Amino acid sequence: MTAKSVKVEKIVLLFSKSELGKLYDFFTDDEISVLEDGSLKVIFHYDSAKNILPFLLMFGRHIKILSPLWLKNEYQNEIKFICEC
């Protein structure tokens, strides 16, 4: 048996300050930073082979994907697809 290679990628997200309580259900203090304007920056590492889009979509308009670019593009494509239905 060979070990499956896992590609862990750094993900950077920006959230509205209203999401703080919800974020503590998923992230640690070390992963959450409160910015001067009150918005919340979350930096964490995630297995890029897993689908994170459903998780991100639950935050609606209160989330902005800062990086990686491929995830931002996938998120935007998913939003467009939902709007076309």
Q: What are the tens digits of pLDDT across the range 5-44?
A: 788 999 999 999 999 999 999 999 999 999 999 999 999 9
Its pTM stands at 0.88
CA dist 45 and 56 (Å) reads 14
Strands (E), 16-72: 32-34, 40-47, 63-67
Per CATH, the number for 8-83 is 3.30.70
CB-based contact 75:65 (threshold 8 Å) = yes
Q: What are the tens digits of pLDDT across the range 55-73?
A: 999 999 999 999 999 999 9
Q: Is 36 exposed, middle or buried (0-12, 13-18, 19+ CB in 10 A)?
A: exposed
